[in-house]
Amino acid sequence: MAVSAGSSRPFLLLLVMLLCSSGLVARLAFWQVMQHGRLALAAAREHALLSVQQPSRGEILDARGNPLATEIAMNQVYAIPKEMRDPARTAAIISPLVGVSVMRLQRWFDSLSGYILLAPRIDESTSRRIRRLALPGIVLNPVPQRDYPGGAEASQVLGFVGGNNRGDAGLESYYDRLLAGHAGLRSVLKDTAGNDIHISPDSGAPVHDGATLRLSLDGVVQGFVEDELAKAVKKHSADGGTIIVMDPRTGYILGMASTPAYNPNHYGRYPAARFVNPSVENVYEPGSTFKIITMAAGLDTHTITPTTAFEDTGQFFVADHRVLHNWNDGGFGWETMTQVLQHSANVGAAWVSQRLGRDAFYRYVKAFGFGKPTGIDLPNDSAGLLPLPGDTTWTSVNQFTNAFGQGLAVTPLQLVRAAGAVANHGVLMQPQVVQQIRYDGHIIDHPPVTAGRVMSRQSARTLTDMLVRSAVGGEASLGLVQGYNIAAKTGTSNVAGPDGKYITGDTIASIVGYAPAYRPRFIILVKIDHPRDTPWGSIAAAPVLHNLFQDLFMYDHIPPAQSAAGR
């Protein structure tokens, strides 16, 4: 039976509707089931923000693990007036906690909008009190604060962190990138109101907190150094001074201080000159302490022996011209090389340099590390000033004045390092302050680093004998400790003025010594700048060496020697 056109129309319409419905269902299934993951991720990205996670700056610890530089929790205090229920009451309560008067706070709350900074930094104790108050419209914003628990302790070694959150001066500058760490990124999902609703663990980059530095610096030794230096500068009305204590076997710095110093917690109160570390950045003429180097060269080349003698007339001539004299303007007659050290005779040192010859003398001076940086892990490691033959500033007289430490300039660290090579049986060490770095789960040790042998073991032992014997009854006698062998040499050097001429009556008094002399644990340089009551290293610096060795022997439980020179 034939179907009429009129009766087929509803059937066709139903078929079309069924086909359309099937297509919509299929499409819906495609998007909601098969494409769900991709769409969800796309939707999340629409509402996700990358949040920067700031790292914590690494700690600086002394050799015993005590913190010298660390971060403490601080907070900024903000006010949001529109969220306050009672601005007048809020002002009255918060005023003593933020150090702003009630009247000023009320004026701010009435006239300002948005966020108002009430205090840039408050400590955790004050922060807890504010949290307990739960005042509407008062907000705490955490900010890290660098803290130096010891105040001015080792300040010129440590440096400080400036307002830009970067290390300025000292270790804070030298190791800034390691201490600062690396910021991280995290993906935070936000709702339509901007609130955090989910933090994705699979996106962004992890934060890496800063490295922890463990120093060779011993807090107890540092305390000895700073106390003795302060007392000596005050006693002699000096302009300042420097003391370095180093282990000559390793090159590790155990104590390092200069005065005047500063408190890195309040660095903004001090002139920039205080941030300089004179131990490694400032130079001076070392004077007679440099005779150690001249004698080392003479002994190692077999040019002299301890008993080699010459007649010291008190004057030294070059081509019939008197070019130098002894510190006392007198002669010592026939004297051995050991007596040259004992008398601190300038003429004797010049005589040794003359016998050595120009090339050999300067070869040893350079081998002991003068004229180049020491390689210590501190900024601005100075090379000093060493005019050499061929330089426009060098004359033939320089060879003889250099022999007793005038006409050249060194850093305190260069000198203590060079003398430390004699103590260390002829091996020069690279000085270091950081002994270990801990970063991101890794431990990196800084072992001792040798810079080469500069004299034979036997020559070093012979020179140690000379320094020990010459100190007894000599210029360094006030630096000795009863019952211990101490190798020491004093220095009294002139100070050049702006015109290049020496300033009359102005000196730098110093002494360098190591002990126990034949198995040394410590080498110490004491340098007193411009003492007013005495010009001499034997009087201004030597007693400081005595006090320090006495403290160190007790601290390190070093017994007296069974046989000590002068005992």
Q: What percent of the chain has pLDDT over 70?
A: 86
What are 468-489's pLDDT values in tens digits?
Answer: 999 998 999 999 999 999 999 9
DSSP designation for 524:
E
Q: How confident is the model at residue 502 (pLDDT cuts 50, 70, 90)?
A: confident
Which range has the worst mean pLDDT, 284-293, 522-531, 554-563? 554-563
In words, the CATH class of domain 70-147 is alpha beta
Q: Taking a C-beta distance cutoff of 8 angstroms, is the pair 230, 204 a contact?
A: no
* pLDDT surpasses 90 at 233: yes
Given this model, what pLDDT does residue 229 score?
98
Given this model, what pLDDT does residue 375 score?
97
219-555 CATH fold: Beta-lactamase (3.40.710)
What are 153-201's pLDDT values in tens digits?
Answer: 999 999 999 877 889 999 999 999 999 887 776 655 544 444 554 455 5
Q: How confident is the model at residue 47 (pLDDT cuts 50, 70, 90)?
A: very low
Locate the domains of the chain by residue range. Answer: 70-147, 219-555
Q: Taking a C-beta distance cutoff of 8 angstroms, is the pair 386, 371 a contact?
A: yes
Q: How confident is the model at residue 369 (pLDDT cuts 50, 70, 90)?
A: very high
The residue to which tokens 């699979």 are assigned: 202
* pLDDT surpasses 90 at 58: yes
Given this model, what pLDDT does residue 193 score?
43
Given this model, what pLDDT does residue 319 score?
75
Pairing of strands 60-61, 212-215: parallel
What are 339-366's pLDDT values in tens digits?
Answer: 999 999 999 999 999 999 999 999 999 9
Q: Which of residues 143 and 539 earns the better pLDDT score? A: 539
Alpha carbons 29 and 463: distance in angstroms, whole number = 94
- Which residue, 184, 183, 205, 203, is CA-closest to 44? 203
Rounded to an integer, the average pLDDT of 89-100 is 91
Which range has the worst mean pLDDT, 13-17, 121-125, 563-567? 13-17
Alpha carbons 297 and 352: distance in angstroms, whole number = 9
Pairing of strands 502-515, 487-496: antiparallel
What are 99-142's pLDDT values in tens digits?
Answer: 999 999 999 988 888 888 988 888 888 888 988 988 888 888 87
Given this model, what pLDDT does residue 555 score?
97
| Distance from chain centroid for Cα 457 | 32
What is the pTM for the complete model shown?
0.83
Which long-range contacts (C-beta less than 8 Å, at least 24 apart) are formed by 332-337?
334/309, 334/310, 335/309, 335/310, 336/306, 336/307, 336/308, 336/309, 337/295, 337/298, 337/304, 337/305, 337/306, 337/307, 337/308, 337/309, 337/466
Q: Which amino acid is at 124?
A: E
* pLDDT surpasses 70 at 8: no
